[in-house]
Amino acid sequence: MRVPLRVSLILAAGSLALPILAQQGVAGRWNASIDTPQGPFAFAFEFLVDAAGKLSGAMHNELFGSTPIKDGAVDGNDVSFKLTFDAPDGAMTISYTGTVKGDELALTSKFEGAPPGGGPAEQSFTAKRAQ
């Protein structure tokens, strides 16, 4: 059976694209929501990764707008970064660590210092890759 050249080229291009998609890692947009005493809090992360594994980008939400990522790093499927917000009582920093598994990013956030309002100092949640 003879396979036309066009079909062979399409199949070859598709097989080359699969490893690239698998290596996509954390780069891109991720949507998440956590439950708070005031109700659900929806937000999104926009991640960029350079060749050295430095993570940059921002978190976006209605309350804080865009907050830049600080001290970001990627090591294989593991990520870490910090966000600092201006609050009435001064700056508030939250550290994040997580692991990418396909289109899910399991994250744990931890307040540096006491969380405002006596909320949980540490919280785990899952972000989903935006399609």
Residue-range domain boundaries for the chain: 25-129
Distances (CA, A) of 93 to 15, 49, 88: 43, 21, 13
What's this model's pTM, rounded to 2 decimal places? 0.76
- Locate 99 and state its tokens: 């692991």
Cα dihedral 51/125/29/110 (nearest 10): -50
Are 65 and 83 spatial neighbours (Cβ–Cβ below 8 Å)? no
Res 16 pLDDT > 80: no
CA–CA dist 128, 32 (Å, integer):
6
pLDDT in tens, 82-130: 999 887 778 889 999 999 999 999 999 998 876 666 666 789 999 999 9
- The CATH code belonging to domain 25-129 is 2.40.128.20
Is 39 or 8 the better-scoring residue by pLDDT? 39
Whether the per-residue pLDDT at 58 is higher than 60: the answer is yes
Predicted confidence (pLDDT) at residue 15 exceeds the cutoff of 60: no
Rounded to 5 degrees, φ, ψ at 112 are: -90, 105
The helix/strand/coil state of 80 is strand
Question: Of 97, 72, 71, 69, which is closest to residue 83 (Cα–Cα)?
Answer: 69
- Which pLDDT tens digit goes with each residue over 43-54? 999 999 998 889
